[in-house]
Structures are given as structure tokens and as C-alpha cells.
Amino acid sequence: MTPVTATANQPEAPLFSDGLGDRVVAVDAATGDLLQILRVRPQLLAVPSFEFALRERAARLANFRHAYYARVRRIDRHPSGLAIVSDHVEGIRLSDMLRVASERGLQIDLNAALCLLRQLVPSIALLHENARDVAHGLLAPERLIVTPRARVIVVEHVMGSAVEQLQFNRDRLWQDLRVSVPMSAGPARFDHRADVTAIGLVALALVLGRPIAADEYPLRIPGLLNDARARGGAALADQPLPDALHNWIGRALQLDTRQGFQSATEAQIALEEALANVDEFVAAPIALETFLSRYIGVMLDPPVMPAPAPPPPIAIVAPASVPVPSPAPSVAAPLEALEETPVTVPEKTPAKVTEKALDFAVEKAPEKAAAKAPEEKAGPRDIAELLGDFNLAPLPGSAAPTHDARHESAAQASQTVPKYDSRFTAGGPPRWRRIAMVAGAPARFGSRRRRSSVPSRCRPILPASPSSWTASRAATLRRASRSTRARTLSSSAGAACRV
């Protein structure tokens, strides 16, 4: 029979793991049965006698078969060590059931707990009766499976003698393997009393409805038993644990070595007597089936994630006020001292005024007055006034130009056009240049600034040569005087002269 893993192409995902090793599910290639393979941790194989003790116990219990136990088929070797091949049992590990019930708030009533105890104690007693010197040794919630039909199955019952070869002390057995053994003077012994102690610890976990924490065994066990409450029952409310059941769990836990049970058979008889004295609770399978249905419903529902904690409030600390130093107190002098202190006022010496300084002030007075007087801006000047600055004599025999009074204003009519002689062009090139500059200023500046507003007929045209200036001058002036824009051109000519 060659087992074939269900996921041959990928590494197997462990079904359950603890201090003993990992459990994976495989399929028997010959029969098609589901198998559960426990791969023992390599650290446990450091002792040479471990494998020998394991194989010897498996061979001794090869013919021990019962519905309360999962059948162990063989011991195999795999690349990392040893593997225990057993029949696969469908169900829930009791350790997982207690953990989920504690996390999800699923209450285990005392009726369901008693139903589990009435199956667990007889199964261990059956093993003790079958082999007087054989004990499970590793009994714990991790090695108990609850089936969907509300039955308890004991697994891995062949490893007790092998783990005993490791000679772990009591604390290490609990911390690494969750194995409870009674207190002893020498190394821990896996005998019948060890199995009874483990039964008592499982019973206490069922009554509490949660797993026993790592730091609670063994010192806090008596306090947990005294605080245990009975849940469910006819009253449907928590009540103190019945005295008969309280005493039975205490004797199973070996709290008093003189009154503790020596075997599972003795514990079974005492349990039946205790249940006979308890009328409020009944160890009926229906109670366990009801709990399993609730457990499956909780497992199908998604877990409720706790709401995130609100962020801590931000404390706003006001800035520390900087103390303002108070001004130093002024020490006032006594009034009598102020009255007696004489106050001297310096006398001003009159300044001596000399005659030279007086004459200088008289001379500078008109200049200062002229400097303070505002400058008068010169107004626009007419072209005739500009030409009159040259003091040219009138031309001989030239008639005065006639003016049309209809096109002239009163101010323009009062002005006369001066007459010029032939010296206008005989004065030499320098004088002609100055005259041409004055006469051509309106054409240059006026065309740039107000070309769009001055008609082309009013723009002065410079002659091509100096000799033709005398003949065209009078006609140009007459056209400029008739134009409505003559005043604008005169203003531009005045501005050009100032520049």
C-alpha cells in the first residue's frame, strides 16, 4: 500500500501542526482510503531510542482496535525522518473548537461538556484495561477529534513511550507539547496517573469554554477551578459549579495526591457517581449536537473584524507665554529737593552784524526773490514773430500781401506780415540755414505728431534751392494764414525752437 498525497504536484499544506509535527492527508493507492500522515519533527529524533520505542509500541497495539481510537497502520520513513500513517478521521480537533468558541463568543454549556467527558473517560479506561502497562501519555485537546456525529476519537496513542525517551521535565512537556503530567521527584513518567491528569485538564478547559493558556499550568489551575461556572442547564444562567463535579475535576487534576485517581477506570466510576448526584445537568448527546450545529454556523459566517480604534486626540498645547519684563520702578526725588534745586537757563549772546555781511545780504535778496518766483511758461509764438527776431528790413517795392478778413480771427487781423528785402538770401549760407530751419520746423514736427489731422495743403513745402525761397515764401504764408490749422502749426514751430 503506497500512500499518494492529494496534492502531488505541490507541497502539502499541513492539516494541523503542533509540537509533535505536521499532519497531511493522503490517499491509499491500493484501497483509495483517506490516510493521515504525521511527520514527526526531526528535533524529536535526536535520541536514538525514540524510533525503537515508537515502533515497539505500534507493534504492541497493532491488534487494538476500537471505535474510540483512530487505527495506526504503520511507521514509515520519509526524507526528513519518520511518519506515522493512520486512518483519516473527519471532524474537528478539540483544541480548534475551544479556540474558535473563545474567539467568536460561542458558549459551551455544561451539558455538552459532560457529554464529551462521558466518552473520553471510558475510552482511556478501555486502553488501560487492555494493556496494564500501556498509557496514552500525550492526551490533550490536540489529540482529540470530535466527529460530526458528536463522537470523540482519540488519535496518536502510540507515541507516549517514544516521547518519554526524551526525558523532558514537566515544564518543557507543557510548553513544547502541551502535555500535562503529575508532579514527581524524578523524570516525568507516562503512566495511568498521567492520563488521568490530562483528563482533568481537558475537563477544566471544557467547563471554562476556552483553552488553557501556556502560563496558567500548573500554578494557576486551582484558582481557575474555583472560579469556574456552570453554563446552561434548566436555569439558563451561569451558576456555581456543582460540588460533585468540582470535586471530581480536582481529584483528576491530582491537586491532592492522596485523593487523586490512580487510573482511568477509577475516574470513570467516580464520574458516574457525580453525575447521578447532579439533577440540573444531563450529559445527553443532543446537547453536543446542538453545540456542533452552532459551531458550524459560526464557521460559515465571516469573522467580524473589530472596528479600528480612533486616532488618539491631538493635544493642542498653547505656546508658553514669554514674561515681559516690567519696567524698573522710577525713583522720584522728594518734592523738597526739586524745589531747592536751582534751574539755570543759558543766555543767548546776540550775534554781531558787520557791514560786509549786511551788504552781502542786500545784494542776494533780489536773487533769492527771483529764484522763488515761479517761472512763466512761454506761450506759442506765431511764425511772423519768429521771423521778426531776425530784424530784416522790408523788401523794396514789394506790395503788402492782401488778407481776406473773412477767414481770419480778430487777433490774426491785428497782426501784419513784415516785409523782407533781397538780403534774405544774401546773408550767406549760415543765415539761410537758420531761416530754413525755422521755416521748415512746422513741416518736420507737425507731420510727425499730427499728420492725420493737418491737411496736406497746409503743410509748408521747402523750396528746392535757396534762390526760389523769396518767390514762394509769400504764397506759403498766405495759404497757412487761411488754414484753420495755422495756430496748431505755430505752436509746433514754437516747441521746435525751444528744443
Instruction: At 35, give phi and psi (nearest 5°).
Output: -120, 150
Per-residue confidence at 486, pLDDT binned at 50, 70, 90? Answer: low
- pLDDT tier at 453, thresholds 50, 70, 90: very low
440 CB contacts (<8 Å, ≥6 apart)?
460, 462
Cα separation, 155 vs 137, in Å, equals 12
| Nearest alpha-carbon partner for 41 in 50, 31, 30, 52 | 50
CA 332 to chain centre: 65
- The torsion angles phi and psi of 471, rounded to 5 degrees, stand at -70, -35
Do 30 and 1 touch, CB atoms closer than 8 A?
Answer: yes
**CB within 8 Å of 165: residues ≥ 6 apart:** 47, 49, 50, 53
Mean pLDDT of 313-341: 53
State yes or no: pLDDT of 144 exceeds 80.
Answer: yes
CB-based contact 195:36 (threshold 8 Å): no
- Is 16 strand, coil or helix? strand
The β-bridge partners of 191 are none
Q: Judge if 3-87 and 92-300 fold alike in CATH terms.
A: no
* 142 neighbors 93 (Cβ within 8 angstroms): yes
Residue in this structure with the C-alpha cell 515497539, named with its chain if needed: 56
Q: Tell whether the torsion through CA atoms of 333, 338, 344 and 345 is positive or negative.
A: positive
Per-residue pLDDT at 381: 58
Note the pLDDT tens digit of each residue in 60-90.
Answer: 999 999 999 999 999 999 888 899 999 999 9
Distance of CA 8 to the CA centre of its chain: 44
CA-to-CA distance for 140 and 473, rounded, in angstroms? Answer: 138
Q: In the chain, what are the domain boundaries?
A: 3-87, 92-300, 383-498
Least confident range of 48-62, 225-239, 369-383, 454-468 = 454-468
- Side-chain half-sphere exposure of 338, counting CA atoms within 13 A: 4
Q: Which of 81, 76, 65, 86 is nearest to 15 (CA)?
A: 86
Q: Provide the residue type at 156 as one letter.
A: E
Mean pLDDT of all residues in the chain? Answer: 76
Segment 267-271 mean pLDDT: 96
Angle between helices 285-300 and 94-104 (to 10 degrees): 60
Percent of the chain with pLDDT over 90: 48
Q: Do 306 and 284 touch, CB atoms closer than 8 A?
A: no
| Residue 236 binned pLDDT confidence (cut-offs 50, 70, 90) | low
Query: What pLDDT, in 10s, does the model give residues 14-34?
Result: 899 999 999 999 999 888 999
Contact of 184 with 205, CB cutoff 8 Å? no
pTM of the model: 0.61
Give the range among 374-388, 438-452, 472-486 with minimum mean pLDDT: 438-452
- Hey, is 411 helix, strand or coil? helix
Q: Does domain 92-300 have CATH number 3.20.20.140?
A: no
pLDDT of residue 188: 87
Contacts of residue 435, defined as CB under 8 A and 6 or more positions apart, other chains included, come to: 387, 390, 424, 469
Indicate left, alpha or beta for 34 from its phi (over 0: left) and psi (-120 to 50: alpha).
beta
CA distance 479 to 404: 11
Q: Which CATH architecture has domain 3-87?
A: 2-Layer Sandwich (3.30)
Most confident of 3-12, 80-89, 306-315, 423-432: 80-89
Cα atoms found within 13 Å of the Cα of residue 404, Cβ hemisphere only? 9
Q: What is the pLDDT of residue 213?
A: 95
Please name which of 320, 356, 99, 133 lies closest in space to residue 210, comparing C-alpha atoms.
Answer: 99
pLDDT at residue 401 tops 50: no
* Start-to-end C-alpha separation, the chain: 126
